């Protein structure tokens, strides 16, 4: 009888211990659920966020381009502007350029510029504009042409090197370096910009929807 009593008491004690432990764990979980989360600091300007804003700015997204005109085009025979732009595309078999024999005022020469089969393949990656007109130097002679815009270099952000936020937290100076990155079409131009790193700084301002790139300091690009 005593043995059964001892066993019963031991079971009661074990159940009590388990119950107390369960209550403690439950209270701890409840307390954890009630702990408020850290606020999201949307007004912080990190280097990564600044880099995203810089790359999205229209001025930074602008490119260095070459225009290739296809069709009947007039050129000032005393200059080398238009012919000079087409020298490499002609040398590389992208276009052909032939005089039509038409001359006006003793100085304006008409050329027929055509894409070669190789050029037609290359042109698939160019931006095509139709219906534009090419004027000569004095604006009297014009020919309807197809104009291809060929991107030869794009701006590439190297890194954000520093951020100085004003005391009020509403303005910031962001310093960064960038360079021109030649594209695969750079081979068509003899005037590809240098790819040397350039230092730049921009003025940022905090708006209700976050930080914005307002303007660069000076003429950095």
Q: 116-175, pLDDT tens digit by residue?
A: 999 999 999 999 875 555 554 444 445 567 888 999 999 999 999 999 999 889 999 999
CA angle 177, 179, 184 (to 5 degrees): 155
Number of helices (H), then strands (E), belonging to the chain: the values are 5, 8
Tens of pLDDT along 66-92? 988 888 887 777 666 566 688 899 999
Structure-token pair, residue 183: 């594209």
Neighbouring residues of 106: CB distance < 8 A, sequence distance ≥ 6: none
Structure-token pair, residue 208: 């209700």
pLDDT mean across residues, the chain: 80
Query: Where does residue 133 fall: left (phi above 0), alpha (psi -120 to 50 degrees), or beta otherwise?
Result: beta
Higher pLDDT, 172 or 218: 172
Q: In the chain, at which residue ranges do the beta strands (DSSP E only) sit?
A: 63-76, 95-104, 108-115, 127-135, 142-165, 171-182, 198-207, 210-216
Please give the pLDDT value at position 157: 97
Structure-token pair, residue 11: 């079971």
Structure letter (DSSP) for residue 124: G
Structure-token pair, residue 32: 């954890």
Please give the pLDDT value at position 53: 96
Neighbouring residues of 145: CB distance < 8 A, sequence distance ≥ 6: 69, 70, 71, 72, 73, 113, 132, 133, 134
Please give the pLDDT value at position 182: 97
Q: Is the dihedral of CA 15, 20, 21, 23 positive or negative?
A: positive
Please give the pLDDT value at position 156: 97
SS3 assignment, position 108: strand
Contact criterion met (CB below 8 Å) for 89 and 68: yes
pTM, two decimal places:
0.70
Distance CA(98)–CA(101), nearest Å, equals: 9
């Amino acid at each position: 009888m005593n043995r059964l009593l001892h066993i019963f008491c031991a079971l009661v004690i074990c159940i009590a211990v388990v119950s107390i432990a369960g209550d403690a764990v439950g209270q701890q979980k409840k307390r954890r659920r009630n702990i408020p989360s850290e606020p999201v600091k949307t007004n912080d300007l990190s280097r990564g966020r600044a880099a995203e804003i810089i790359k999205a700015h229209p001025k930074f997204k602008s490119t260095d381009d070459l225009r290739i005109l296809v069709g009947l085009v007039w050129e000032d025979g005393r200059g080398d502007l238009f012919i000079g732009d087409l020298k490499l595309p002609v040398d590389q078999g992208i276009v052909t350029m032939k005089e039509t024999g038409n001359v006006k005022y003793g100085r304006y020469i008409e050329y027929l510029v055509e894409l070669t089969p190789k050029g037609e393949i290359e042109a698939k990656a160019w931006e095509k504009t139709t219906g534009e007109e090419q004027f000569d130097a004095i604006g009297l002679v014009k020919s309807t042409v197809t104009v291809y815009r060929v991107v030869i270099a794009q701006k590439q952000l190297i890194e954000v090197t520093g951020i100085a936020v004003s005391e009020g937290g509403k303005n910031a100076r962001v310093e960064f370096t960038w360079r021109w990155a030649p594209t695969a079409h750079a081979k068509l131009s003899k005037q590809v910009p240098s790819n040397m790193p350039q230092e730049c700084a921009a003025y940022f301002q905090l708006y209700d929807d976050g930080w914005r790139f307002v303007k660069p300091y000076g003429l950095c690009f």
